[in-house]
Structure 1
Amino acid sequence: MKEVLFSIGPFTVYGYGFMIAIGVVAAFLVGMYREKKYAVGDDQIFSLGIWCLVGGWLAAKVLFVITELPAIVADPEWFLTTLSSGFVVYGGLIGGILTGYVFCRIKKLSFLKYFDLVMPSIALAQAFGRLGCLMAGCCYGKETAGAFHIIFPADCGYAPGGVPLIPTQLISSAANFLNFFALLFLARRTKSDGQVGGLYLIFYSIGRFIIECFRDDPRGSVGPLSTSQFIAIFMLIAGIAIFVYCGKKFPKTEEQAKET
């Protein structure tokens, strides 16, 4: 854990924010490289990324407010302490995709092609982001007696200190890196535009649902499920539907398949 990396006068660099920044930069670089390599568009990935960042950030914050509404109503001042840290990943994901769709409609671009182009980069950004969670001590796991564990310091602001916990942040990061490389591999083998994006939703939803079983940080819930598990069910259905529908509706020609 390294909540604060360094300070220069009044300027402080936090581990969580630093890893988020690395993830965003890496996602942009991979996206721009793949846009040129596959000649998807006319250098639109940077503008699209900015749109998606803003839309995703807003949606992630809105969903956080919705899931934590009882706590916010009970203590409005608590909300002010979460302005820089309180987000729900699924909100950012949904908001980013919707914003990207609007951008593509305005610019008259193929949304499905950019959907496939962007989603591996999203998985990469999430992988670095989860390392940021580890450095901040948030999104922590349940207490465990197993050998595979992590112990946070006693003064950790989020995770319980001094006790062995399941390293859910590391597991989540590894799962997202695996998702990233799997999508790059499968991008050359899908038969239709939109299927890579659909596979991202399938892989991420399954992984997130499982990892949620081992987390122990305060989260919203819907019945016996966490909010993220509840959303994951619908995202999984959406991913399967997109993969199957695009496969039937938008099959690639032999020439297009060779290009990708």
Structure 2
Amino acid sequence: MIAAIPSPSTGSFGLGPLEIRGYGVMIALGVIVAVSWAQRRWVDKGGTADHISTIAIWAVPAGLLGSRLYHVVTDWKRFRGRWEDVPAVWQGGLGIPGGLAAGVIVGLLIARRQGISMPRVLDAIVPTLPIAQAIGRWGNWFNQELYGRPTDLPWGLSIDVGHRPAAHLTAETFHPTFLYEGLWNLTLAAVLVRVDRRGVLKPGRLIGLWVCGYGLGRLWVESLRIDHASLLAGVRVNIWVSLVAVVVGGAVAVAGRNYRDAS
């Protein structure tokens, strides 16, 4: 093996009497960065940081709950007979599509209660979401999970024998799908910011471009993964969800094209 991305020897570390999970740290860091940036973006659009703080207080827990519920529902067979593991989010198992949907819906409801423009605040928040996703994906690195097929590429991810699937016990390095998805999301965030600045889309329609872009990225990343997954018609459920995201998100973005401002 010439080169490889190393995996951490453990997914947690001690802090006094506490055991801190790397997975949870990365999720929390992603939330903090996204909320902080969303506050700055909303202030630039004429709002206040407190508006975003209030939205986050409700939307973040809703997103985490939605993520876990999505994972449990789409992979319920793994929990059959051990339903007590459902709340154990620190072990991994957050379905991003469910979290994003729940977080956005609750966030918009809170924005409406505050009397602020839902389309404008949505445009402020949307580019920050793929940043949270990119950072949060490093939690999979700590857990040595959700990697791709074996590879001998120099950026292959080294996985301990205890975390390898039975079909690939002799393989040493695998596609680092967490890194692929993270880089995709960083690029997507940059595209969203540029589109928002140029006024290419009508207010509130930036979410369509994000959903479409996320779906496209998830399609090719999901095709590399070898972890257990629920199937529908022989295809991973997340691939079907990604296809729907591409179509629906693309339709929302195209229908919201602001031809006058883009010309």
Fold shared, TM-score > 0.5 on shorter chain: yes
Equivalent position SS for 1:171: helix
Distance change >3 Å, CA 215–CA 18, structure 1 → 2: same
Question: Whole-Å Cα distance in 1 between the matches of residues 149 and 123 of structure 2?
Answer: 35
Residue 43 of structure 1 deviates from its aligned partner by 3.3
Residue 174 of structure 1 deviates from its aligned partner by 0.7
**Partner of residue 116 from structure 1, selected from 112, 123, 132:** 123
2:229 is equivalent to residue 219 of structure 1: yes
| Counterpart for residue 175 of structure 1 | 184
Counterpart contact for 1:172–1:211, Cα < 8 Å: yes
| Counterpart for residue 34 of structure 1 | 41
Which amino acid in the other structure matches residue 185 of structure 1? Answer: R
Note the residue ranges of structure 2 that are not aligned, 5 or more in a row: 1-6
Residue 26 of structure 1 deviates from its aligned partner by 0.7
Question: Whole-Å Cα distance in 1 between the matches of residues 105 and 204 of structure 2?
Answer: 14
Equivalent position SS for 1:87: coil
Distance change >3 Å, CA 158–CA 109, structure 1 → 2: farther
Residue 9 of structure 1 deviates from its aligned partner by 3.0
Question: Whole-Å Cα distance in 1 between the matches of residues 50 and 257 of structure 2?
Answer: 27
Equivalent position SS for 1:113: helix
Which amino acid in the other structure matches residue 225 of structure 1? Answer: V
2:209 is equivalent to residue 202 of structure 1: no
**Partner of residue 128 from structure 1, selected from 125, 135, 151:** 135
The CA RMSD measured in Å over matched residues stands at: 2.5
| Counterpart for residue 235 of structure 1 | 245
Question: Whole-Å Cα distance in 1 between the matches of residues 112 and 87 of structure 2?
Answer: 36
Question: Whole-Å Cα distance in 2 between the matches of residues 93 and 81 of structure 1?
Answer: 19
| Counterpart for residue 4 of structure 2 | none
Residue 210 of structure 1 deviates from its aligned partner by 1.0
> After superposition, what is the alpha-carbon deviation per residue over 1:112-138, rounded to whole angstroms, capped at 9, x for unaligned?
112211111110000001122112211
TM-score calculated relative to the size of structure 1: 0.86
Residue 147 of structure 1 deviates from its aligned partner by 3.8
Count of matched residue positions in the alignment of Structure 1 and Structure 2:
252
Which amino acid in the other structure matches residue 141 of structure 2? Answer: L
User: For structure 1, which segment, 168-177 or 216-225, has the greater mean C-alpha deviation from structure 2 after superposition?
Assistant: 216-225
Residue 168 of structure 1 deviates from its aligned partner by 0.8
Which amino acid in the other structure matches residue 46 of structure 2? Answer: A
Equivalent position SS for 2:13: strand
Residue 75 of structure 1 deviates from its aligned partner by 4.0
Q: Percent identity?
A: 25
Note the residue ranges of structure 1 that are not aligned, 5 or more in a row: none
Question: Whole-Å Cα distance in 1 between the matches of residues 161 and 44 of structure 2?
Answer: 49
| Counterpart for residue 255 of structure 2 | 245
Residue 41 of structure 1 deviates from its aligned partner by 5.4
Question: Whole-Å Cα distance in 2 between the matches of residues 29 and 78 of structure 1?
Answer: 32
Equivalent position SS for 2:20: strand
Counterpart contact for 1:194–1:242, Cα < 8 Å: no
TM-score calculated relative to the size of structure 2: 0.85
Alignment of 1:86-165 (within 5 A): 86-156=93-163, 163-165=172-174
Distance change >3 Å, CA 127–CA 83, structure 1 → 2: closer
Residue 77 of structure 1 deviates from its aligned partner by 4.9
Equivalent position SS for 1:43: helix
Residue 108 of structure 1 deviates from its aligned partner by 2.6
User: For structure 1, which segment, 145-154 or 92-101, has the greater mean C-alpha deviation from structure 2 after superposition?
Assistant: 145-154
Equivalent position SS for 2:203: coil
Distance change >3 Å, CA 77–CA 218, structure 1 → 2: same
**Partner of residue 54 from structure 1, selected from 52, 61, 69:** 61
Equivalent position SS for 2:228: coil
2:15 is equivalent to residue 8 of structure 1: yes
Counterpart contact for 1:137–1:158, Cα < 8 Å: no
Equivalent position SS for 1:13: strand
